[in-house]
Structure 1
Amino acid sequence: MESPSLKACTISPIYSPLGIALGVNQSSPEYYELLNKLADHNDFSSGIHKAHQQQDYNNITADARDNRLMLWQDPTKPELKIHVFANNIAVVEYELKLDQNLSALQLANECQVKTTQAIADIYPSFIASFTESVAKLNSNRVTLTKQHVDKPKIYWTTQTLLFARHEVQHKAHQALIKNWLKYTDCPDDADKIISGTQSYSLTWLNYVVIDEPLAPDDEHQPTGYAPYLETMILAQYFYTAQENCNTILKQAIDGAYNSKKLNEVSKNLAKSRVLARLHQVDYNEHLKYLKRFKRKLLAKILSGWDFENLIENGQRMIEICSSRLQEEDNKRRERSTVMTDLLLVTLSFFTVFELSLYLTEFSREMMSRPALDYNDETPSFFLKFIAEVDADFMFGFGFLLTFLLIVLYKFIKAK
């Protein structure tokens, strides 16, 4: 006889090699056409769901837009879904059944082990479904990186226990819920769930969701697990993407202060800054397309994770990047100014030197050929004086005059 089982669902953000070029979004004309072509180039047994553009705000009970690139499923494993997002992030949703005789700690460990194994098993198929199709598509707007194609990178795994309302009446389940939520941010949620005043606890790592019966006087009350899990998947995506942006910014800052490849550093700083800002724009933009319940729940979840602090920290790093880019720009300007000054000094030297040579040559020619100044009543005292000056002295005078001009320029510039 099989042991009684518990329904559970794990949510795991992972690195996705599939990405969209920076700047391409749902407002781009080619966005949906691009995604559908990607699906068309795949074997349909891979279970890639096509994307469709819909009219905004035409249904108050549903989201106006879906910011996923696609939903990937393998028909042989319907219990596992991969929600593929932009920014090289996917979120794995995995439904599983657990032995309810296990303790809360054992259940959490079982969720981690089974989820890690399930992702490892399905990952080669996930990668294979995109590799050939991206090559066939031959578009610079779709990218397939070579990172983590052999082994999945799992950022973390959260686990949710799923109960129907009548199951919460069992004493064993009540004790389990209390132990399950004991070390979360709101352990008091357990008593509220047991008393029936609350239907969920979505705070930190261990979650509980109750499938409430539909209230006869409230047709818009969320029922089932889907609304809560969908919101948590969104929350996990936004948080992971922001963490990734912050990590990339930190790496760019590290390179900016320690690398000697200034051109490459400037490109990395600029790209990471744009990536972080675009993600913040995407987050704020997508909020207005969510139905009211999911928007409020998403805000509540992210508030519990101090998401605003994460964004503010990213903003501070963006400012550091901007400051560093400005410093590099100022250095380039200074180098350009120095080169300009050097060129001007060189030109001025040759000009003064040439003037000295010309005066010496002209004055001596005038003195040796009196016919050149036949209109003058008397010979030019100035030309006579220069003609009598030693040529070396004139060259030295040119050098001295150039030096004085440099000193004067420095003095004026300092002022």
Structure 2
Amino acid sequence: MKVIVLGAGIIGVTSAYQLAKAGHDVTVIDRQKGPALETSFANAGEVSFGYCSPWAASGIPMKALKWLFMEHAPLILRPKVDAAMLCWMAKMLANCTSECYAVNKGRMLRLADYSRVSLAALRKETGIEYDERMQGTLQLFRAQAQLDASAKDVKALAADGIPYEMLDRDGCIRAEPALAHVRDKIVGGLLTPKDETGDCFKFTNALAKRAEQLGVRFSWGTEVKKLDVEGSQVRGVVTNWERLTADAVVVALGSYSPLLLKRYGIKLPVYPVKGYSLTIPIEDASRAPESTIMDETYKIAITRLGDRIRVGGMAEISGYTNDLGEARRRTLEHSVMDLFPGGDAGKATFWSGLRPMTPDGTPVIGPTKIAGLFLNTGHGTLGWTMSSGSARVVADLVSGRKPEIDATDLAISRYV
């Protein structure tokens, strides 16, 4: 089959690679000049198969109100007259129940665990290197209330057989020795030892080269104008350069996916939630992290990437804007320098990206009401984590095979 993949971020490139492995003739279209130059460029570096939770939870509405008045808030809301934003927020609030949280987290863990296995297989078959480390994620609690509230996550991890360890202060320091310098600032942590770290940009570019070796063609600097739909069947894509025919099209455009799809009557509840990152050169390794720490107070991930520290996080709901606010930079600096002052923040690179979020936290993977049109989008903060598994699921569905995991509740049909 001739398959067109729209988007060359981590989701689009992994999809193209798996589709080519399945024997398809694949073309990838992206408006940028190379792979992973938007949301996948400088993300937090976490590959967090265990630290995988929906944002919509029973306590979030009250926490959100409190965060709005914090100097270093993990959530920033810039409301505007935007029907898509208001609709998305309403749907997210509707998911803020214990029942919805349990269902949504179960879906996410299922896909994340499958992605863990898929990434390990991909790494073995390709030998790709990307500043990877296999030392887990430490969710760090500064307050006893945070430690107590982790019980619901522990319950979900146990139910799905995901390995974890509850650590006291000394246990956290054994996992991350640099925390010894700030031991009085922490009370404990939740370690998910199967989690990994890595540079998503390096990985995506290396995999794109492997995909080219399998025959995948990349069309750079190309804008998708519209889908070519005849009746209820997709026939290809119209770009700013040409019309391309295809038997199947996979939409992996992240936050921009719903903008393309709405003209075809497909209401995809994906909205951009902006995140920020700093990339800081390490000058004192004894005061730098070994793997990934999730600072629960500020919802910020601090990750070791070779000789750099990547600090990423926050959730800004402000539409399709990519400005760099200095207040957001100060929050990132505050979190990392408070725990790991081993880098030179003055030499940091500041970046922002638009995460494609669904209101229930689970990505949208699978067919649509238009035959031959498939979705692989809406991964939010977990695109890097879920990419390998998502790609295998969509490759199986396009190929007419039953995926190795239950994917029925990952499709857009769950919103109907």
TM range (shorter): under 0.3
- How does the TM-score come out when normalised to structure 2? 0.23
More helix, by proportion: 1
The alignment's TM-score, normalised by the length of structure 1, stands at 0.23
Higher relative contact order (CA 8 A, sep 6+): 2
